[in-house]
């Protein structure tokens, strides 16, 4: 990856009147990366995507593309293309002409060869003469993707392109996007509020909340070592439990959770005092009540296909604890039953709690 091929955002802030949509966002995306901007509706991720596209000029900060400041460069002069949530094809044009439209406007050479190559990338060779009303939802989005790829952008921006598709087609399109990304080598910047999409597609994920970057990391880092309680709760399911860090010794921390003491991995920057313990439901083991260990009462059980999602009332905790039981392990626990709760201490994550 060359230095000049990077996409860099430096101190980007944007306001809509008195509302701050983005606050001092700095981010570097390397050439060929698949980076996902993940967060709830209204968190600023689409605003950031539109700033990269050139549709919005930031209130503060700048954007560098291939080493060049493009903050004030209009969209049509950037090596960037965008795929929107809705394909928005021209209904009076067939697939070939929809993909070729931008090339014809710009007077580009080799239109037929370039359109054919773009359709090959999205596996729509043979669909050239079909119209929009003759295509499925997934095929419409493939045409929109081909229409963007035919311009050979260095950066492809995708704004929730799978949100309107049903689950089966979404999964198929996820596989197609991964393949197209590998084949083209282009930089993909993808916006979604769907955690599953982000984990499945991305080289790195940028987690947003209220205009701020909560965490940047690989899918594995974000899931296994969330940096904040918000990141833990938003990416996958998690129990974020209030604990007290009693003592730090080397790589271990002694914790107090609802009056029960146990050990967990420590890390640099962790301080004694109030903290958060992140425990994913799938690492919790349920069994017989034993000794002074943690125990709870089963308040709800729901079948989830691969297993059972359980909610447990635990004395000393204000919210129910979530646990997952594999379908292979047999019958789920009975409602109202007392049950023992345990987990592998190496599978949890410990965070310091910021002062209120």
The answer to the question of residue 229 being in a domain is: no
Kind of pairing, strands 19-29 and 7-16? antiparallel
- Average pLDDT of the residues of the chain: 92
**Is it the case that residue 326 has pLDDT exceeding 90?**
no
DSSP secondary structure, 139-190, as one string? HHHHHHHHHHHTT--SEEEEESTTTTS-HHHHHHHHHHHHHHHHHH--EEEE
Phi/psi of residue 125, each to 5°?
Answer: -65, 130
Supply the pLDDT for residue 124.
95
Strand ranges (E), the chain? 7-16, 19-29, 34-38, 60-65, 68-69, 80-83, 155-159, 187-192, 204-209, 212-217, 239-249, 252-257, 260-265, 273-279, 284-287, 294-303, 307-313, 321-326, 338-343, 349-352
Do 196 and 296 fall within a single domain?
no
Place of tokens 């399911």: 237
Do 161 and 296 fall within a single domain?
no
Supply the pLDDT for residue 269.
82
281 closest CA partner among 255, 300, 253: 300
**Is it the case that residue 2 has pLDDT exceeding 70?**
no
Boundary-marking domain end, from 201, 224, 247:
224
Entry pTM: 0.91
Do 119 and 12 fall within a single domain?
yes
Q: What is the pLDDT of residues 163-208, one digit of tens each?
A: 888 988 899 999 999 999 999 999 999 999 999 999 999 999 999 9
The CATH number of whichever domain residue 128 belongs to comes to 3.40.50.300
What are the CA-CA distances from residue 183 to residues 29, 65, 129, 170 (Å)? 19, 22, 25, 20
Domain boundaries, position 73: 3-224
Q: How many domains does the chain have?
A: 2
Do 209 and 245 fall within a single domain?
no
Q: What percent of the chain has pLDDT over 70?
A: 98
The CATH number of whichever domain residue 341 belongs to comes to 2.40.50.140
Q: How far apart are CA 195 and CA 219, in angstroms?
A: 10
Boundary-marking domain end, from 189, 224, 259:
224
> If you average pLDDT over residues 266-279, what whole number do you get?
90
Do 117 and 55 fall within a single domain?
yes
Q: What is the pLDDT of residues 124-174, one digit of tens each?
A: 999 999 999 999 999 999 999 999 999 999 999 999 999 888 988 899 999
Contacts of 178 (CB under 8 A, 6+ apart): 34, 200, 201
Do 112 and 197 fall within a single domain?
yes
The answer to the question of residue 230 being in a domain is: no
Q: How far apart are CA 116 and CA 119, in angstroms?
A: 5
The answer to the question of residue 111 being in a domain is: yes
């Amino acid at each position: 990856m060359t230095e000049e091929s990077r996409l860099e955002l430096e101190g980007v802030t944007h306001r809509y009147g008195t509302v701050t949509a983005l606050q001092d966002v700095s981010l570097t995306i390397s050439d060929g990366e698949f980076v996902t901007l993940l967060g709830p509706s209204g968190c600023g991720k689409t605003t950031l995507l539109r700033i990269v596209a050139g549709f919005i000029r930031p209130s503060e900060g700048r954007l560098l593309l291939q080493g060049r400041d493009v903050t004030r460069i209009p969209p049509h002069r950037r090596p960037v293309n965008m795929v929107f949530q809705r394909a928005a094809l021209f209904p009076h044009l067939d697939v070939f002409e929809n993909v070729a439209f931008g090339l014809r406007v710009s007077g580009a050479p080799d239109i037929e060869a370039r359109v054919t190559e773009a359709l090959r990338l999205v596996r729509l060779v043979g669909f050239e003469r079909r119209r929009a009303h003759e295509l499925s939802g997934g095929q419409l989005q493939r045409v929109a993707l081909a229409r963007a790829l035919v311009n050979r952008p260095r950066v492809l921006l995708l704004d929730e392109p799978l949100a309107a598709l049903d689950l089966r087609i979404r999964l198929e399109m996820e596989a197609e996007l991964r393949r197209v990304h590998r084949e083209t080598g282009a930089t993909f910047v993808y916006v979604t509020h769907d955690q599953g999409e982000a984990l499945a597609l991305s080289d790195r994920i940028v987690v947003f909340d209220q205009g701020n970057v909560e965490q940047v990391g690989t899918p594995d880092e974000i899931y296994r070592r969330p940096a904040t309680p918000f990141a833990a709760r938003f990416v996958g399911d998690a129990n974020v439990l209030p604990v007290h860090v009693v003592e730090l010794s080397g790589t271990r921390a002694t914790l107090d959770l609802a009056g029960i003491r146990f050990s967990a991995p420590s890390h640099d920057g962790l301080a004694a005092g109030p903290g958060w313990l992140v425990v994913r439901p799938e690492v919790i083991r349920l069994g017989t009540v034993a000794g002074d260990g943690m125990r709870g009462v089963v308040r709800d059980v729901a079948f989830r296909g691969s297993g059972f999602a359980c909610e447990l009332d635990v004395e000393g905790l204000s919210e129910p604890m979530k646990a997952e039981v594999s379908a292979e392990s047999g019958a789920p626990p009975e409602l109202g039953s007392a049950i023992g709760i345990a987990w592998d201490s190496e599978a949890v994550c410990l965070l310091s709690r910021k002062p209120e």
